[in-house]
Amino acid sequence: MKRKQAGRQSFFEKLATKVTKATGSTPVILAAFIIVVLWGISGPIFDYSETWQLVINTGTTIITFLMVFLIQKTQNKDSLAIQIKLNELVAAHELTSNHMIDVEDLSEEELEVIEKYYAKLADLAKQEKNIKQAYSITQAQLRHDSKIKKPGKST
């Protein structure tokens, strides 16, 4: 079921979405391939001149230059939409940690710390006898804190 656009997209956003979808389609990819083949076949006709080479070089450079920015714009929008959806799932579930909302705003070093934490959780999960046992960051932090507070226990 396709949702009707609410008209909030700018002209450029609509154009970017359509062009990105079109350029990734099979007919456009085949057309690009045919153009390159025809250019290659025409080499002997133009005696492989500098102008002949310049035509393909200029064309591909311009298209590549524009497509990089167009694809990046579309990717940024898609990435933002995915982040919002993931944030909604985290916020809506009572057992998830809200600490994970907006982690994309953390520095790379902070993300690496969290990644190491989850790698450790994965190792712990592999050791569990009950594969349904799960921990959130908050649960693990509470367990960790309770171990530190116990007298005579070493961490």
Domain ranges of the chain: 11-92, 98-149
Kindly provide the residue ranges of all beta strands, DSSP E only, lying in the chain, ordered along the sequence: none
Q: How long a stretch of residues is the chain?
A: 155
Residues 76, 66 contacting (CB under 8 angstroms): no
**How far is residue 23's CA from residue 142's CA, in Å, rounded to a whole number?**
51
Q: What is the dihedral of CA 92, 94, 96, 102, to 10 degrees?
A: 40
pLDDT per residue of the chain (155 residues) written in tens, 0 to 9: 455 555 588 888 888 888 989 998 999 999 999 999 999 999 999 999 999 999 999 999 999 999 999 989 989 989 989 988 988 888 887 777 777 887 888 899 999 998 888 888 777 777 666 656 666 666 666 766 676 676 554 44
Query: What span, in angstroms and rounded, lies between the C-alpha atoms of 126 and 134?
Result: 11
